[in-house]
């Protein structure tokens, strides 16, 4: 079975004390993850070491820590930025790349994201690569073409042995933070499409290895249904990941 992943994206939320409390509550639930299951905490930069320390003290392999972004250059005069090299030096092994908010607010292009994917892989960091369409693309019925272009322009320069190591998160932009959620049929349809696009370029065996997460308003009360879809391998969770009880239920909803 592919990796089944509950990834928490805290975005720019929580004080240090609130972050510690939330982690303690989630980790205190003593959820025993199976070998094919992962929980990833994607936290603000100031909390990376604290989160890694808490996770490493309590668990041995199935709980991970991710950064929410990194710069596309190795180093240099980029005040305020954080490099993949810095993250690697902290033993941070995952990083979100291309979240829709960064695409929109920071004008991150598919070409730029290809550079970020490269530099993460160069530093042994697994990219959690985000793709997804805005409402106008969905309403026009071109969502399949829209996300296929994102994959091709940011990922398809990679050889098969590299692309099979990444995680993809599909996030319908029209469902992020809006309370709207794709139906299970919509989620399965586009997740299957994403996998077919990869299969057409790399072959079915490679496509079948890559986890594809759903990232649009995943909640405790809809996670089980969404995750039951054959091509949905968990979720990239925003608001619900800030509530311990909700995220605990989302972790428990992963395929067994």
Q: Which of 71, 171, 191, 249 is catalytic?
A: 171
> Does residue 234 sit in helix, strand or coil?
strand
Cα(158)–Cα(203) distance, rounded to whole angstroms? Answer: 14
CA diameter of the chain: 49
User: Which letter does DSSP use for residue 210 in this model?
Assistant: S
Number of alpha helices (DSSP H) and beta strands (DSSP E) in the chain = 12, 8
Q: Which of 99, 108, 133, 191 is catalytic?
A: 99
Q: Residue 28 to residues 72, 80, 90, 116, 244: CA-CA distances in angstroms? A: 36, 34, 24, 34, 10
99 flagged as catalytic: yes
Query: What are the tokens at 8?
Result: 């928490």
Helix or strand run (H / E) with residue 191: helix 184-202
Q: Residue 131 forms beta bridges with which residues?
A: 170
6 CA to centre of own chain:
9
185 flagged as catalytic: no
Catalytic (active-site) positions: 99, 171
């Amino acid at each position: 079975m592919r990796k089944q992943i509950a990834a928490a994206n805290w975005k720019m939320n929580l004080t240090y004390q609130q972050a510690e409390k939330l982690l303690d509550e989630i980790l205190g639930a003593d959820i025993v993850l199976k070998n094919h299951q992962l929980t990833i905490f994607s936290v603000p930069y100031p909390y990376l070491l604290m989160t890694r320390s808490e996770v490493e003290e309590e668990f041995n392999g199935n709980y991970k820590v991710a950064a929410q972004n990194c710069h596309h250059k190795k180093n240099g005069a980029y005040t305020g930025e954080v490099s993949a090299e810095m993250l690697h030096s902290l033993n941070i092994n995952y990083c979100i790349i291309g979240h829709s908010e960064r695409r929109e607010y920071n004008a991150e292009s598919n070409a730029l994201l290809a550079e970020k994917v490269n530099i993460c892989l160069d530093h042994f960091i697994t990219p959690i690569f985000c793709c997804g369409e805005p409402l106008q693309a969905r309403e026009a019925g071109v969502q399949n073409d829209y996300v296929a272009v994102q994959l091709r322009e940011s990922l398809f320069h990679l050889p098969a042995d590299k692309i099979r190591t990444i995680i993809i998160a599909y996030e319908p932009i029209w469902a992020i933070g809006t309370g709207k959620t794709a139906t299970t049929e919509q989620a399965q349809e586009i997740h299957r499409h994403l996998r077919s696009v990869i299969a057409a370029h790399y072959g079915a065996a490679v496509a079948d290895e890559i986890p594809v997460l759903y990232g649009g308003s995943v909640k405790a009360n809809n996670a089980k249904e969404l995750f039951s879809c054959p091509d949905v391998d968990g979720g990239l969770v925003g608001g619900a990941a800030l509530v311990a009880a909700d995220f605990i239920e989302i972790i428990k909803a992963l395929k067994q």
